[in-house]
Structure 1
Amino acid sequence: MTQQWGTPGQPPGQGGQQWAGQPNWNRPTQAWGAPAAGQPQYPGYPQQNPQGAYPQGQPPYPQGAVPPQAGYGVPQAPFGQPAYGQPGGFQPANRQGAPGGPRRSSPFRGLLIGLVLVIGIAFFAISLTHYLGGGSELGGNQPTSPGTTSPPVEVPEPDYSPPPVPQPETYEQATEWLKDNAVYAETAPIPTDCQVPAINLPEARAAELTVHLNELTACLWRVWAPPLEKAGFTLPRPPVTVYTEPITTACGKEDGVNASYCAGDQHIYYAEPLYKILPQDQQTLPFVVDTILAHEFGHTIQARTGLLVASAAWEQHGTKAEGLVFSRRAEMQADCFAGMFTVAVGGASGLSGNDLANLQDVIFNIGDDVLTGQANYNGGHGLGKNRKAWFTNGQQNSQMGKCNTYVVPASAVR
């Protein structure tokens, strides 16, 4: 979800941020009509996830890091901004066989019109002065033990003409995809030998950031392409455009301080001055900009597995409050995927356990409550303690099903 940036500290609704549920929010428009009779609402959630996929209790965080290994080189070529075409003609993916099995495409039946969707990182142009130290505690299995690495794979070039994203055809199918998506049965390769070079964020400018972030997507692709392909999905490598002033994209206008994934062109956008909204002591932390991009790439994963459109359809259907819950589920799932990625490449990239733990605090500080200074603020991204919890949950797990935010109580994504 993308916010518009108003006067710092100005409450929403007074010329400040535009929030999910308002008429001009950039969510895909669907034409399914109401859900089937007798099922007017998204089925209820269990009080506890039987698979333990949502935060419970946090085991001690490992302080050691895998020694840096040989990095993966990618061509350092500039990536220009593509021409934007209108999305549409998406091929829905239908489940075949047992849960977790591969999906196949079926003909598009015209049930969704063109997808225009922006999912943005939860940053606001307001002062970050509320530093709270808590957070939901986590549980779950530890990632794959150090010493194992993913085999080398050939990384494709950024794809400016990717295939359409999968779309469900009915609300019932959307619910199935959200709760029992084939990708949840897959495991991320943790650790990998993909090395992400360090970058001095305050000193980096658009040209350097463009190279760095487009190289970063090579490691992101290496981590996420294998599990998606095993689940029957394809993962084009999205281009990244770094901009210094507002630009117009396939999803509309991108404001001057933002980071977002646009499903209209399956492209990631990052504003060069974004780091300035972070506290000074976090602007130079290792892997901050990479974590932001990993969150946006989490939305790429959602788009390519049908989760994003399915979630957006339910987000639009109910009340504004119900829509915010679905927005938070999507955002915190992207946080969880980002957490997995930081551990997958952290050792090879020279990150220590403390570096990885510091990233948890970065995520905490972009919670709706921390950014607004309102303890119970009901926003579209969630409380800092819950965002931190899901991000840390990702750092402590390798099974993608541990990031299933769609089968937990709404309080777990509050």
Structure 2
Amino acid sequence: MRWRGRRQSGNIQDMRGRGSGRSIPIGFPRSPRVRIPSTGRMIRTGGGSLSGIVMMVVLFFVLKACGIDPLLLLDQAGGGASYDRIAPQTQRAPAGPVRNDETTQFVATVLAETEDVWDGVFQANGKNYPKPTLVLFEDQVRSACGFASAATGPFYCPGDRRVYIDLGFFDQLARRFEASGDFAQAYVLAHEVGHHVQNVIGVLPEFNRMRGRMSQAEENAMSVRVELQADCFAGVWGHFTAQKGLLEAGDLQEALNAATQIGDDAIQRRTQGYVVPESFNHGTSEQRRTWFTRGFESGRLEDCDTFNNPV
């Protein structure tokens, strides 16, 4: 990926070297995390009825097809990501100056590229894109979703609209998942930013509100659709990045390989030696490749409707 010399985002908090307290078990029902898996176990993302969230997403795409801006309706209704009612948290350690090493420069550039793409998409709908903050941490971090360790993997917290990553994950991605390359790393970040887009347009808030009435099987099935849509949104970002001439030979294959290696079936084979399809909550390798490719080829949000199409 041709990233050097391009704009770097300033929406970064560097918490590395600023310990944030003892890590505690993960699982925060009020303020769910959405993440790239590192062990095959998905943190729950919300609450509710399968039919309810499908109806919400159907409405989103119907309004789009009719030329009505659903983002505007969300604003008028007081929607968006303000659904979280988060218990007060201990104040975080102050962030330090952002380090200037190459990996930090890279993620700052990728974040800037996602900002540019989603700015354009939202402006086409007459809205401004509320940019997320990328938090860099080491070992463990406190977010509005609670404590998390580096073992959690990269995650998005809808409660504070931040993407969190321990950059050591990129080494794990290359060694453990056999998914090396800068565009594989960019795909990971773009996927988490895709969750931010879902949060803004109302997909994650609806899932969170309605999860409580879902069976475990329904919740897993809906989680797969949420995750595959984030993959498709990452593909949309890749589409416009390619249009800028920023991709090099092999970049697309790096992203597709990463999607393959972090599929639920691939992770379960790697970690436990067998596959349990009913426990999938991110999607199979084939599904993740397919939906990233769909977004990459079309560059259209409406082609990322994982809720009303076979996955």
Q: TM-score, normalised by structure 2?
A: 0.70
After superposition, the C-alpha distances for 1:110-158 in whole angstroms (9 at most, x for unaligned) are xxxx9612110123289xxxxxxxxxxxxxxxxxxxxxxxxxxxxxxxx
What's the counterpart of residue 400 of structure 1?
301
Q: Is residue 34 of structure 2 the alignment partner of residue 119 of structure 1? A: yes
> Would the alpha carbon gap of residues 316 and 74 (structure 1) be closer, same or farther in structure 2, given more than 3 Å must change?
same
Q: Which of 229, 251, 265 is the equivalent residue of 2:160? A: 265
What's the counterpart of residue 120 of structure 2?
226
What's the counterpart of residue 190 of structure 2?
294
Query: Could you tell me how far 1:309 is from its partner in structure 2?
Result: 1.2
Query: Could you tell me how far 1:245 is from its partner in structure 2?
Result: 0.9
Q: Is residue 223 of structure 2 the alignment partner of residue 327 of structure 1? A: yes
Q: Give the secondary-structure state (helix, strand or coil) at the position aligned to 2:281.
A: coil
Identity over aligned pairs, percent:
23
Q: Give the secondary-structure state (helix, strand or coil) at the position aligned to 2:13.
A: coil
Alpha-carbon distance between aligned partners in 2 of 1:290 and 1:332, rounded to the nearest angstrom: 17
Alpha-carbon distance between aligned partners in 2 of 1:74 and 1:345, rounded to the nearest angstrom: 15
Query: Could you tell me how far 1:207 is from its partner in structure 2?
Result: 5.2
1:118-157 alignment runs, 5 A limit: 118-124=33-39
Letter in 1 for 2:303: K
Which sections of structure 1, spanning at least 5 residues, go unmatched?
1-64, 82-113, 127-169, 187-204
Q: Give the secondary-structure state (helix, strand or coil) at the position aligned to 1:79.
A: strand
Query: Could you tell me how far 1:232 is from its partner in structure 2?
Result: 5.4
Note if contact 1:233-1:304 (Cα within 8 Å) is conserved in structure 2.
no
> Would the alpha carbon gap of residues 291 and 335 (structure 1) be closer, same or farther in structure 2, given more than 3 Å must change?
same
After superposition, the C-alpha distances for 1:189-217 in whole angstroms (9 at most, x for unaligned) are xxxxxxxxxxxxxxxx9753444323322
Note if contact 2:233-2:292 (Cα within 8 Å) is conserved in structure 1.
yes
Of structures 1 and 2, the larger Rg is shown by 1
Q: Which has the higher helix share?
A: 2
After superposition, the C-alpha distances for 1:90-115 in whole angstroms (9 at most, x for unaligned) are xxxxxxxxxxxxxxxxxxxxxxxx96
Query: Could you tell me how far 1:390 is from its partner in structure 2?
Result: 0.8
Alpha-carbon distance between aligned partners in 1 of 2:99 and 2:231, rounded to the nearest angstrom: 25
Alpha-carbon distance between aligned partners in 2 of 1:69 and 1:292, rounded to the nearest angstrom: 16
> Would the alpha carbon gap of residues 403 and 125 (structure 1) be closer, same or farther in structure 2, given more than 3 Å must change?
closer
Which sections of structure 2, spanning at least 5 residues, go unmatched?
16-28, 42-48, 68-97
Q: Is residue 156 of structure 2 the alignment partner of residue 255 of structure 1? A: no
What's the counterpart of residue 245 of structure 1?
139
> Would the alpha carbon gap of residues 355 and 216 (structure 1) be closer, same or farther in structure 2, given more than 3 Å must change?
closer
Q: Which of 70, 73, 76 is the equivalent residue of 2:7? A: 73
1:96-111 alignment runs, 5 A limit: none
Alpha-carbon distance between aligned partners in 1 of 2:224 and 2:260, rounded to the nearest angstrom: 14
Q: Give the secondary-structure state (helix, strand or coil) at the position aligned to 1:407.
A: coil
After superposition, the C-alpha distances for 1:18-48 in whole angstroms (9 at most, x for unaligned) are xxxxxxxxxxxxxxxxxxxxxxxxxxxxxxx
What's the counterpart of residue 303 of structure 1?
199
Query: Could you tell me how far 1:78 is from its partner in structure 2?
Result: 6.3
Q: Give the secondary-structure state (helix, strand or coil) at the position aligned to 1:253.
A: strand
Q: CA RMSD in A?
A: 3.5
Q: Is residue 277 of structure 2 the alignment partner of residue 381 of structure 1? A: no
> Would the alpha carbon gap of residues 339 and 271 (structure 1) be closer, same or farther in structure 2, given more than 3 Å must change?
same
Query: Could you tell me how far 1:235 is from its partner in structure 2?
Result: 2.0
Q: TM-score, normalised by structure 1?
A: 0.54
Query: Could you tell me how far 1:375 is from its partner in structure 2?
Result: 3.5
Alpha-carbon distance between aligned partners in 2 of 1:234 and 1:342, rounded to the nearest angstrom: 20
Note if contact 2:173-2:180 (Cα within 8 Å) is conserved in structure 1.
no
Q: Give the secondary-structure state (helix, strand or coil) at the position aligned to 2:147.
A: strand
Q: Give the secondary-structure state (helix, strand or coil) at the position aligned to 1:213.
A: helix
